[in-house]
Amino acid sequence: MSIIVLGTVALDTVKTPFGLRKEMLGGSAVHFAMSARLFTRVNLVAVIGENFPRRHLDFLKQKGLVLTSLRCVSGKTFQWEGRYEGDLNTAFTLKTELGVLCDFKPVISSQQRKIKNIFLANVDPQAQKSLLRSMHSPRLVGLDSMNYWIKNKRKALLSLLKEVDIYVANDQEARDLSGETNLVKAAKCLRSFGPPMVLIKKGEHGVLFYCDKFIFSLPAYPTEKVVDPTGAGDTFAGGFMGYLSKINRISQESIQKAIAYGTIAASFNVEGFGADKTSAITMKNIHKRLLEFRKLILFK
């Protein structure tokens, strides 16, 4: 089964205690695709500007992504600059240039409209709804967002939540949108907004999943060296949605396995800058670390 992801393709400048990288390949759709590609064929929907480096475009093609709906238009590619300090849990945004993202309206092929698995990564909720409305009978729809849209386009986001199957948010986003400080209460509140399933990412503290039938929590993989956390949440979502798209089945067992796969994929992401680590991993790498992870979390 294929999956279609709508999100950003960006040029990121990131500084951490481990170094500085300027205008490296990033964006929500890119990080999502780096892990989702391990499980299924990924159709990427995004926009780039005239200044987008050819080497990055070649790289995305080499990774087997379907770029039919990656539009190149006049203007500058979306750019983000940030830094991490201390425990690297918080990104301090230094500069954001939306560029061609300001007027972006997703356009996909007639064949892509038939894809059953959809992930709406972090972009304007109106662009997300536009893509969703163009799809024919989707089977599984996941949605991500960010605090900017929660604050500035709350009404549009709440309307969109009624049309998706899974809402993915980090802990702060979940609290901001729900108004609850306790994450279990926040998950229940978010469920009441429409999505049957809610997944809250807690960074180094793991993941909380909530639906009417069960609650499931999993810790993060204990990574010794965190180099750059940028895109870890998107990488998690790619592994999670990629696995569910591959097996074409939604159950408690499949959800739990998908969360485990997403967790392992994210653990590779944080070990290097940008997509350095995730672009090179294979399913063999994933399964080896997953086996180690299972030994760590099981007890008698």
Q: Which domains does the chain have, with CATH numbers?
A: 2-297 (3.40.1190.20)
Number of H helices, E strands in the chain: 10, 13
Q: Whole-angstrom Cα distance, residue 265 to residue 283?
A: 10
CB 49 within 8 A of CB 99: yes
How confident is residue 286, by pLDDT bands cut at 50, 70 and 90? very high
Q: 214-267 pLDDT, tens per residue?
A: 999 999 999 988 999 999 999 999 999 999 999 988 999 999 999 999 999 999
Rg (CA), the chain: 18
Residue at 38: amino acid letter: L
Taking 90 as the threshold, does the pLDDT of residue 88 lie above it? no
Q: Whole-angstrom Cα distance, residue 148 to residue 157?
A: 11
How confident is residue 147, by pLDDT bands cut at 50, 70 and 90? confident
pLDDT confidence of residue 90 = 79
Q: Quick one: which H or E segment has residue 198?
A: strand 197-201
Q: Quote the distance between the C-alpha of residue 279 and its chain's center.
A: 15
Paired tokens of 25: 């390949």
How confident is residue 28, by pLDDT bands cut at 50, 70 and 90? very high
Q: Whole-angstrom Cα distance, residue 129 to residue 147?
A: 18
Give the least confident one: 58-67, 143-152, 157-166.
143-152
Q: 156-206 pLDDT, tens per residue?
A: 999 999 999 999 999 999 999 999 999 999 999 999 999 999 999 998 889
pLDDT confidence of residue 111 = 96
CA distances from 156 to 126, 129, 144, 250 (A): 7, 9, 13, 27
Strands ordered across the beta sheet of 10-16: 19-26, 10-16, 79-84, 91-97
Paired tokens of 85: 């300090």
In 27-77 the beta strands, taken as DSSP E runs, fall at: 41-48, 66-72
Give the least confident one: 22-36, 40-54, 144-158.
144-158
In terms of pLDDT, which residue wins out, 51 or 90?
51
Paired tokens of 296: 């760590």
Residue 197's DSSP bridge partners are: 166, 211
Paired tokens of 6: 């709508």
% of the chain residues with pLDDT over 90: 90
Helix spans in 114-247 (H)? 125-133, 147-152, 154-161, 171-178, 183-192, 232-247
Paired tokens of 105: 């309206």
Taking 60 as the threshold, does the pLDDT of residue 300 lie above it? no
Residue at 228: amino acid letter: D
Q: Whole-angstrom Cα distance, residue 239 to residue 10?
A: 20
